Amino acid sequence: MAKNIFLKINAWLHLWLGIVSGIIVIILSITGCILVFEQEIRQLTSPWLHTEKQGEQLAPSVLYKAVANALPNKEIYSIWYHGEGKTVHFSLNSDSMVYVNPYTAEIVAMVHHEDFFHFIEEGHFHLWFPEKIGEPIVGWGTFIFFFLLLSGVIMWWPKRWNKKEINNSFTVKWKARFKRLNYDLHSVLGFYSLTIALIIAVTGLIMSFSWFNNGVYWLSGGVKTERIISKSDTTKNPQLVSLQQVDKAWKKGKNEIGDYNKDQIIVSFPKKASDVIELCVDMHNGSWRYVNLDQHTLKELPSSQYKLKDEQFANWLRRNNFSLHVGAIGGLPTKILFFFISIICASLPITGFYIWWGRWKKKIRKRRKQLISNIQA
């Protein structure tokens, strides 16, 4: 008796929460499909990202001066080397990103950051609403989707594990009538996509809610510690260092600190004597490592992140959250897998709505017949 009540409540919640969150899930899934291959699409459609290799890349100081001369009223924050045969781009107080040939110091392009992918990101992060409104909607929509995945497994679970039930639960009947095919596309494909869909949902919730993030961190064995904020030692060196010191930090990052994709590195430009020189290295499969150097001594500071291989599991999981969310953790194969799972996730509200619509129309027809029968009687 209690089991039947539980199953009825679960089915009711699955139906109505699915209807409430359907549009949100469709938008997040479709925009997610596009963002999975954002970098690959950019590489194919953005000629300013590529340049002919011409010897060694110029140091940050040389490229900094070229941009500063061309844009004297802009404040330059950092430089991002994307690798051999590719332009570098500067982060500065501007609506545009500045791309520079790292071999000639020539400014190749200034591209407004509000492009197609920026539009897609706004949809994925806050449904094109103002952030204060859209982000909570996305977060709770993702939470509902997480619940729907679990309640869906309960509804999918075979009543008996005989041959017929197993065949119905694990096989899509492609030659069946549309109504049956639609049901299988919802139920069977929903089950097969469950593991990856749960990963997408959980990693999305980690990015949406600090309480969920902290909860997962604690469950995975993490111990909360005070955040370390490092500064450069100004007791002996009270003056801001020259750009040549940034060049040395860049070389140290490439030759001594980074393990993966050593020619891909972000280097910051300190603005005052206490600022650190921040490096971003080991950009590989959607993860990265921040290393802070004392700008005067180039000594690695305590606020620097460990190498991923040396991290405890909880910290490894937290730092790989983005990589897991977009499927980049295993490179192109996992990206393709996550792409197709996202398509299935986008289809689930549609196939689920059609199931409900068919059952609702059936009830309406039954009530009409009953009403006509009562009138005739």
- Residue 311 C-beta-side C-alpha neighbours within 13 Å: 19
Residues in CB range of 209: below 8 A, 6 or more apart: 139, 143
* Mean pLDDT on 53-64: 94
Residue 374 has pLDDT above 80, yes or no: no
Q: In this predicted model, which residue has the larger pLDDT, 362 or 334? A: 334
Give the model's pLDDT for residue 377.
60
Chain segment 224-236, per-residue pLDDT in tens: 888 899 999 999 8
Query: How does the average pLDDT of the chain come out, rounded?
Result: 93
Sign of torsion, CA 204 208 209 213? positive
For the entire predicted model, the pTM comes to 0.91
Decide the pairing of beta strands 76-82 and 276-284.
unpaired
Chain segment 92-126, per-residue pLDDT in tens: 988 888 999 999 999 999 998 888 999 999 999 99
Residue 2 has pLDDT above 80, yes or no: no
Chain segment 117-148, per-residue pLDDT in tens: 999 999 999 999 999 999 999 999 999 999 99
Give the model's pLDDT for residue 369.
76
Give the model's pLDDT for residue 95.
82
SS3 for 220?
coil
Sign of torsion, CA 61 63 66 71? negative
